Structure 1
Amino acid sequence: MPKRPVLDFWYEFASTYSCLSALRIEALAEEAGVALRWRPFLLGPIFAAQGWTTSPFNLFPNKGRYMWRDMARRGGRSGLSFVRPETFPQNSLIAARLALAGREAGWMPAFSKALFRAQFCEGRNIAEEAVLNAALKAAGADPGVAYAASRSEEVKGRLKAETEYAKSIGIFGAPTFVTEDGELFWGDDRLEEALDWAKDGC
């Protein structure tokens, strides 16, 4: 059986558009015959390198207003009701470490989707332990084991390395999709195009 092409899905837990992609990417990838590699990372260091102290959606109010309205429109097309959390962007450090801790165990995608729903469909704070625990349990993970792994130097180092690698290949926002030949696509609205490129190279 021929090897399936692979698409890297780079996402940030505090990113609204990453949420949209996370909740629809698996079905689209399966239909396209493309394997996914879920790659959580942190946008904060990348923004800081550009001199930004917060999300551009906060720095530029008109852009922010447009984004929240766009989320409502795009979510509505998928039958999703989005809620603006009280805090935006949220602290996603522990969430990203937990996700990486679940990569080998196989629960990273389910955990990621559960956490995105908690944040942007229910308005919950993903930095709170109760919210993280609920997402872990929904993904079939043992919170005690997951937290222990997430606090290891190996996982902490892996997240730093992933973020640095994302920066080195030119990633500047999330979600970003990268094909095996290095083609980069930014934004939820480029997901279908990224899958086509991963499959056909054009």
Structure 2
Amino acid sequence: MAGRLQFWFEFASTYSFLSAMRIEEAATARGITVEWQPFLLGPIFAAQGWTTSPFNLYPAKGRYMWRDMERLCISRGLQFHPPDPFPQNGLKAARLALVARDAGAAAAFVRSVYVSEFCLGQDISDSAVLAQCWAEAGLSPDLMTRATAPAIKTALFEQTAKAQALDLFGAPSFVAGGELFWGDDRLDEALNWAASI
């Protein structure tokens, strides 16, 4: 039986973008099934008294992160265009990701949103941008309306509550067999753990 790995991601997260672009291929190579888990970091940050990303609150950390992203994208063959503003508002995208997951197309949709945001520098709160991502993922336009349904809004709220219950404090986070791994640089360790249980 194949192992399973929960991939907790936030659309505003730079390092979640990096993980999203490689997790499926890396997981398939190890026989791991990826469970795509969108959530919102805003409530988690607010509980710590933060009103924005720590990369904005601590300028030196922010400068390091942007340069690190440039280096990593070059090494992985990814185009990189920092979005403005940062962090982006990923509420609509996260709701749509839940609908896409129900339709079996979470991976394709999530990657398309991240490419729009971090490769093309587009505003992912823009409905037209999200509609293009939706189409690129091969999803029916009719399904997009489900993102505004009360059930999906509740589901995203519950996702964030689950993230808090798991003690997630950032993104990307990976959970396998009750073990938490945080950061794109821990993806391989998380996959190896998932394969071992």
TM-score when scaled to structure 2? Answer: 0.98
State the partner residue of 2:154: 157
State the partner residue of 2:12: 14
Query: Are residue 196 (structure 1) and residue 192 (structure 2) matched?
Result: yes
State the partner residue of 2:70: 72
- Deviations along 1:80-104, one digit per CA (max 9) or x if unpaired, are 1211111100111000001101112
The SS at the match of 2:102 is: coil
CA contact (8 A) 2:19 2:184 kept: yes
Q: 1:36 aligns with which of 23, 34, 44?
A: 34
- For 2:91, the aligned partner's letter is L
State the partner residue of 1:140: 138
Cα deviation for residue 143 of structure 1 reads: 2.7
The SS at the match of 2:83 is: coil
The gaps in structure 2 that reach 5 residues or longer are: none
State the partner residue of 1:113: 111
Cα deviation for residue 144 of structure 1 reads: 3.3
Distance between the aligned counterparts of 2:124 and 2:54, measured in 1?
Answer: 20
State the partner residue of 2:52: 54
Structure 1 runs (4+) deviating above 4 angstroms are none
Distance between the aligned counterparts of 1:165 and 1:69, measured in 2?
Answer: 32
State the partner residue of 1:88: 86
Cα deviation for residue 142 of structure 1 reads: 2.0
TM-score when scaled to structure 1? Answer: 0.96
Q: Which segment is superposed worse, 50-59 or 101-110?
A: 101-110
- For 1:199, the aligned partner's letter is A
- For 2:169, the aligned partner's letter is F
Q: 1:23 aligns with which of 4, 21, 24?
A: 21
- How well do the aligned residues superpose, as a CA RMSD in angstroms? 0.8
Cα deviation for residue 145 of structure 1 reads: 2.1
Distance between the aligned counterparts of 1:80 and 1:109, measured in 2?
Answer: 17
- Deviations along 1:121-180, one digit per CA (max 9) or x if unpaired, are 00000000111011000001123322x21111111111000100100110000000000x
Percent identity (aligned):
53
Query: Are residue 172 (structure 1) and residue 169 (structure 2) matched?
Result: yes
The gaps in structure 1 that reach 5 residues or longer are: none
CA contact (8 A) 2:99 2:143 kept: no
- For 1:155, the aligned partner's letter is I
Distance between the aligned counterparts of 1:67 and 1:161, measured in 2?
Answer: 30
Cα deviation for residue 108 of structure 1 reads: 1.3
